[in-house]
Structure 1
Amino acid sequence: MMMKYIKQHGIWYLVISFLSVGFLVSFALYHLPMIYFGMTLLFNLIVLIPFSIWHFLSFRRQLRLLANFRDLWEIAELSSPLDESYQKALSAHNDKAQQEVFRAQSQASRQQDLIKMWVHQMKVPLSAVSLMAQTNQLQSDDVNQQVIRLEHYLENLLTYLKFSERQDDFRFEQISVNELIKKVIKKNRILFFHKQLSVEVTGDWQLKTDKKWLSFALSQILDNAIKYSTAGGKITITLTKNSITIADQGIGILPEDLPRLFEEGFTGYNGHEHQKASGFGLYMTKQVLNQLDLAIEVTSQIDIGTEVVVSKRKNEAF
């Protein structure tokens, strides 16, 4: 404890020592009576020693308070300007830490709710396959359709977790969006066939982007187009040098739902009515496209269809 005190305040005792030596030299050079110097030094020591003892005890008490405190109110009695500054800094740090804890708890709660939701969703295709097996009606196309749904739900879940934990990197390269969208269509061909949907792809878009994450975003958009298209309809995909437009002839989206499409967990009327939406597909799509510096815009009319446009941001130049 004494060494800490000397380390903290020893400089002032060193200054006092130098001043005393300076006075001694002055007295000697001017041949002043040394008795006056001795009396002055003795008086200073009489004042300095009790003050030093009190100051050391106060310093020791402060260290013990700081070593054992758990809440800021326990060190409120430390009222020097420096102590108050430290307390303000600690209070700000404590508030920030509490906010971080609250955000982490909220994130954990959202993830738990999300996982519960996805478990419930994945029970639907699993139950369908189980029923097919029990009734000896296992058709390869029907089974493949349910497997694709399961893969889609799992992909959404894993992507959400990666984004929420920020554990994935983007790798940009020059790609053909035409080739990419055709791979996405091929991956979902069973779903097209099941609803007897036709698809038309025209044009191309040479874009520097992350192929994996753009594929995920386009898969979400196309999955919604398939999900809410009427049987026998058509999905049109048009590419230009700056955008991709995916248009369906489905049931459409209510005007009041359009502004909230990209909110986390929002399903809207169609999602509730058809019990197919998790509320995270378009949310994740928006998050991914933001990271890719791309914009997304949705327009829709009830019973006519929905059009989704993904394009370069106007203030960006790729």
Structure 2
Amino acid sequence: MFITYLKERRSWILLFLLLQFLIIFIAYIDSAVSMESALYYVFLSAIIFVIFILIRYQREMKFYQELKDAEDLLGFSDRELLSPFEGMVAESITHHFEVLKKAVSENGRRLDQEKDELLSWIHEVKTPLTALRLMIDRLEDQALKKEMTYEWLRIHLLLDQQLHQKRIPFMENDLYIEQTDLESVIFGEVKTLQSWCIQKGIGFDIDLEYNEVMTDAKWLAFILRQLLTNAVKYSDASDIQIRSGEWNGQIILEIADEGRGIDSRDLPRIFEKGFTSTVHHQDHAATGMGLYLARKAAQPLKIRIDVESAPGKGSTFTLTFPKSNEFLQITGM
């Protein structure tokens, strides 16, 4: 900090050195001025200047150190002891800080209001969407029924994704960790996608060696919904393999499809928000949110999601559930 102060005051130091050099130069060219007296004056001046620098350093850097370390810019101590310039700086910073603080508070309030309004709208839309599903079920024209069921499912999944996206920042308040039956969760999600899968000729091959895991059933269902939706969306007539097993003392769940796969250069970015693809960049069906939200939801549950894929060979997503000691971190026990 002292070096920084000297750099800041280098104009003072240069002026002082110039004045001392001027005195010595005058003594050198003017015989009426004693060189010994001039050097003695320079020596005393140097001592006084060093003392002055040290005192000013202690006085001024106290203010700037407070400015550097202050978490609350309103907390300058001993404001009455500040110099006029320091007081002006402190007053200006305090004023702008208060303005920014009010702006942040107002923006936060507006965002909370918009979030609440959006959540309310989503819940309101669910009512006519449920009624629409009942109307679709009563249709006798099977071709029309399949098409409308598919479009209904698309709307339902988009609303569900939006709803959970707004809840994820606060999902730790909603966690309920318990022994969860994998089969019931998986079959529930498969049933939701059934009409879409029938339309595309996609089946499921499910083999669960381990059927129970400690997790939150609702959020696990959301994660599986994103992975299965992607698998169905980017696959043609084929089977999606769902397997559970054990690896390194942890239960894993694999979801493998035979779809178009993911290019190697895209793999590191598929969990980024809004990323779709570099190879299929013109694919308007992709939103770039499903995998991002899946990983965001998996993090509080200590579930690791890995992926292996190659173009034209499909993709395999692996969910690794936490060990017992990691589970204790989730529950806080």
* Length-normalised TM-score, structure 2: 0.56
1:233 maps to a residue whose letter is S
Residue 262 (structure 2) pairs with residue 256 (structure 1): no
Task: Indicate how the Cα distance of structure 1 residues 209 and 265 shifts in structure 2: closer, same or farther if over 3 A, else same.
Answer: same
1:4-19 equivalences under 5 Å are none
Quote the residue 1:210 is aligned against: 216
Quote the residue 2:255 is aligned against: 246
Quote the residue 2:308 is aligned against: 299
Quote the residue 2:145 is aligned against: 140
Cα distance in 1 for partners of 2:179, 2:296 equals 21
Quote the residue 1:132 is aligned against: none
Say if 2:216 and 2:301, in contact at 8 Å, map to a contact too. Answer: yes
Q: Give the unaligned 5+ runs of structure 2.
A: 1-72, 123-140, 328-333
Give, in angstroms, the shift of residue 96 of structure 1: 8.1
Task: Indicate how the Cα distance of structure 1 residues 315 and 212 shifts in structure 2: closer, same or farther if over 3 A, else same.
Answer: closer
Task: Indicate how the Cα distance of structure 1 residues 168 and 194 shifts in structure 2: closer, same or farther if over 3 A, else same.
Answer: farther
Quote the residue 2:276 is aligned against: 267
- Matching residue within 205, 225, 237 for 1:219: 225
Cα distance in 1 for partners of 2:264, 2:102 equals 39
Q: Find runs of 4+ consecutive structure 1 residues off by over 3 angstroms.
A: 81-108, 164-168, 269-273, 313-318
Quote the residue 1:46 is aligned against: none
Say if 2:213 and 2:321, in contact at 8 Å, map to a contact too. Answer: no
Say if 2:252 and 2:321, in contact at 8 Å, map to a contact too. Answer: yes
Deviations 1:224-279 (A, max 9, x none): 0000012x111100012511100000001111111111111111236633311111
Give, in angstroms, the shift of residue 155 of structure 1: 0.4
Give, in angstroms, the shift of residue 287 of structure 1: 0.8
CA RMSD of aligned residues (A): 4.1
Residue 290 (structure 2) pairs with residue 284 (structure 1): no
Equivalenced residue count is 222
2:145 maps to a residue whose letter is S
Q: Secondary structure at the match of 1:240?
A: strand
Quote the residue 1:43 is aligned against: none
Deviations 1:89-146 (A, max 9, x none): 95896598489569859979x98xx99xx9xxxxxxxxxxxxxxxxx99621221111
Say if 2:273 and 2:292, in contact at 8 Å, map to a contact too. Answer: yes
Task: Indicate how the Cα distance of structure 1 residues 137 and 174 shifts in structure 2: closer, same or farther if over 3 A, else same.
Answer: closer
* Length-normalised TM-score, structure 1: 0.59
Give, in angstroms, the shift of residue 192 of structure 1: 1.0
Task: Indicate how the Cα distance of structure 1 residues 309 and 172 shifts in structure 2: closer, same or farther if over 3 A, else same.
Answer: same
Percent of residue pairs identical: 25
Say if 2:226 and 2:291, in contact at 8 Å, map to a contact too. Answer: yes
Greater mean alpha carbon deviation, residues 145-154 or residues 159-168 = 159-168
Say if 1:205 and 1:243, in contact at 8 Å, map to a contact too. Answer: no
1:1-318 equivalences under 5 Å are 79-80=80-81, 90=94, 97=101, 100=104, 139-164=144-169, 169-203=174-208, 204-230=210-236, 232-241=237-246, 242-269=251-278, 272-313=281-322, 316-318=325-327
Deviations 1:27-48 (A, max 9, x none): xxxxxxxxxxxxxxxxxxxxxx
Give, in angstroms, the shift of residue 289 of structure 1: 0.4
Say if 1:271 and 1:277, in contact at 8 Å, map to a contact too. Answer: no
Q: Secondary structure at the match of 2:190?
A: helix
1:198 maps to a residue whose letter is G
Task: Indicate how the Cα distance of structure 1 residues 165 and 295 shifts in structure 2: closer, same or farther if over 3 A, else same.
Answer: closer
Give, in angstroms, the shift of residue 311 of structure 1: 0.6
Cα distance in 2 for partners of 1:137, 1:192 equals 15
Say if 1:293 and 1:316, in contact at 8 Å, map to a contact too. Answer: no
Say if 1:180 and 1:215, in contact at 8 Å, map to a contact too. Answer: yes
Say if 2:197 and 2:232, in contact at 8 Å, map to a contact too. Answer: yes
